Structure 1
Amino acid sequence: MFETATQTAFRQAAPDPAALFGWPAGFGTRFAVCIDTEEEFDWNAPLSRDSRSVTAIDSLPAMHAWFARRGVPLTYLVDHPVATTSSSIAVLRGLMDDGVTTIGTHLHPWVTPPFDEIVSPQTSFAGNLAPALEAAKLDAIGEAIIAAFGVAPQIYRAGRYGLGPHSLALLAERGYRIDTSMRSGYCYTGEGGPDFRAIGNQAFRCGPRDALLELPLTTIYTGALARGGAGLHDALGRVPRGRGLAARLRLMARVALTPEKMPLGAALGAIEAALDQKVSLLNFSFHSPTVVPGHTPYVRDTRDLAAFYAWWEAVLALLGSRGVRPVSGHDLLAATHAPALASPARPPLGGAVVGACSSTG
């Protein structure tokens, strides 16, 4: 049995300017699509070890083909139920035949052995687990992926963005080269999770001896008061309906690059703002069960599914018009070893970040 003591209020510090990553010459401005490839569960119910169904994986080939027709390679970050179920393994192995699809790791602690912790909101963040238990779960999912797909995963995203004080060192020890767990501008301390309000959108080296490249999930502040950044957004959260009112008045909105809960108009404006800010890599994400109506709050019926694809159609059109090309996980890994340009100047974070965040939204 492992000790399962937890950590609280892990706050990721802003990277040193010297750690900001200089992409290789010719990389340009690119976008990646990394999918949290996971089991289905009731988003309104307590987490359960019994929720291991992966029927939505059967619908991935149609979604994959839709993106392939538009020249967009996908990176599937796979969790334990997906990597240990024969049907989902077969589907993903078939997708890998295109030579550009990349398999990485997604860790949901509550469905990944060893099962030595009590399932709770706090232990759903892997970084809150004792280091030995977090390490054991990383080993279990890594071994499952190697057995299922014949590849050693090198790209990681913690479920619920649950990094902790030991996570990066544990990943480096296991040969990971890219982490994409940090959600720029977001704070989960209200649930016992991490605080990423100090993290911007530029890639940076991190971990012991800078062994890892962090690719934050892109979050853009838009509106007349956008320069207030995380500090102002947090302050608005302490005012009743403050964030909603600020967004409606076009004063400030926080926009993550995902089709889940992010309106199309807001996403298009955020992309334009990100490009104006010289963000080199736009990092998009969504959950694999979203492609089947009824599995997530974001796609409840066929109408929502049509809106999901319409969102992507418009986003890809804008990216294409601005000369922003897609990038595969394989190419991202190759870039970590390529000769780099000078590290970019550090952009302003936009507002002070102090104290506890007012909410996790």
Structure 2
Amino acid sequence: MNDGDGADCNTGWRVPPPGPDARVAWPDDFGTRFTVFVDTEEEFDWRAPLSRDARDTTAIAALPDGHRRFAERGVPVAYLVDHPIATSARAVDILRNILEDGTAAIGTQLHPWVNPPFDEAPTRANSYPGNLPRTIEAAKLDVLTDAIVAAFGVRPRLYRAGRYGIGPATTALLAERGYRLDSSIRSRYDYRRDGGPDFGAIGNHAFWWDARRRVIELPLTTVFTGLGRRSGEGLYRKLGAIPRGRGVAARLGVLARVALTPEDMPVADALEAIRVAVGEGVRVLNFAFHSPSLVPGHTPYVRDAADLAAFHAWWDRVLDLLDRLGVAAISADALIAAAEATSASALASAPPPA
């Protein structure tokens, strides 16, 4: 819905980097893993103003085929559902059938403009749930969580703020409601121009949000590639001040910012980003896409049948490379369990407070 290039704006929450002790210490035998999270949501016109009435969920019909493609490759998928999905009988039936094979998980995605209660104006800034007053953000989260429990009979433990709109109060609200893993950060992106948060200081490693280790953060993996990649965020921000600077730098192989998603990320760039991330020691590579991309015409990324074929081919090549590199898929539940195991051991061995 925006490209996250607001580097010249001084508003918005700049999310602070985690402290040195916050990074998740994965078990020695954990290896390098990857996850796939799907923003499972309604269809809407990405170019138009956000509307409370845009609640159609017809694209969900393509989800079983998309799920089958991942299941055949042994890849568990986490479906992060929002209010229009959780309250659509047809969408719920489709997702329930998908859950039966045991390879999928249900999580939460909060789109505040279509998620009651509607106590705020539907503005661009308010489309980032973390910008809302704490009481409104909490009320919307409660409505959505309850709807998911009613629809699927499970209490969700995974969360993503719609539009990556995490705020200063979000993770405390999640911890209070039993959520264990958040994926609301798009590493290295800056949404301040649109009124959202700035993740420029956040890297790709999973980390704990607080000293009590209640909520894990798993950012969407984003990698700088090219000859200047070690200059990273600083160089990327400077290029943003030059007309077409970032595009020229990417074409010349100087610097490119590549998120692990098939949406607007060429497969050759994604393959290079995977190699860089693995080489830099990232232990969990986090991939994502929007469920309406499984049907042409609902997102800017899949406009026709050719785009959809390219979307599926992107995944084939990415999964082939991950297999060759020995990067194995992991379910959200297994990921949480692995993080909690090492966290419990670390907390038990920590000296008592003075």
Output the amino acid matched with 1:32: T
Write out per-residue CA displacement over residues 17-49 of structure 1, whole angstroms, 9 at most, x where no aligned residue.
111111123211000000000000000100000
2:8 corresponds in structure 1 to none
Residue 123 of structure 1 pairs with residue 164 of structure 2: no
The match for 1:195 among 168, 193, 198 is 198
The alignment covers a number of residue pairs equal to 336
Residue 83 of structure 1 is matched in structure 2 by 86
1:63 is paired with a residue of what secondary structure? helix
Runs of 4+ in 1 over 6 A off after TM superposition: none
One-letter code aligned to 1:120? T
TM-score normalized with structure 1 length: 0.91
Q: Is the 8 A contact 1:172 1:208 kept in 2?
A: no
Instruction: Say yes or no: does 1:234 pair with 2:237.
Output: yes
Q: Counterpart in 2 of 1:94?
A: 97
Please give the secondary structure, in 2, of the residue aligned with 1:168: helix
Provide structure 1 residue ranges, at least 5 long, that are not aligned to the other structure.
1-7, 344-361
**Structure 2 counterparts to residues 1-361 of structure 1, below 5 A:** 9-207=12-210, 209-339=212-342
- 2:261–2:289 contact (8 Å) kept in structure 1: yes
Deviates more, 1:50-59 or 1:18-27: 18-27
TM-score (norm 2): 0.93
What SS class does the counterpart of residue 216 from structure 1 fall into? Answer: coil
Aligned-partner residue type, residue 183 of structure 1: R
* Distance (Å, rounded) in 2 between the aligned partners of 1:64 and 1:164: 31
After TM superposition, give the deviation of residue 331 of structure 1 in Å.
Answer: 1.0
What stretches of structure 2 of length at least 5 have no aligned partner?
1-10, 347-354
Cα offsets for 1:191-220 (capped at 9, x unmatched): 110010000000000047331110011000
Structure 1 residues 236-282: Cα deviation after superposition (integer angstroms, max 9, x where no partner): 01101100110011000000000000001100000000010010000
Q: C-alpha distance in 2, partners of 1:74/1:323? A: 19
Amino acid at match of 1:104: G
- Structure 1 residue 305 displacement after superposition: 0.4
Bigger shift: residues 205-214 or 126-135: 205-214
DSSP 3-state at the match of 1:58? helix
Change (3 A) 1:105 1:271: same
Taking only the aligned residue pairs, the percentage that are identical comes to 58
Structure 1 residues 50 and 24: CA distance shift in structure 2, 3 A: same
Separation in 2, partners of 1:249, 1:101? 40
CA RMSD of aligned residues (A): 1.3
Which 10-residue stretch deviates more, 23-32 or 150-159?
23-32
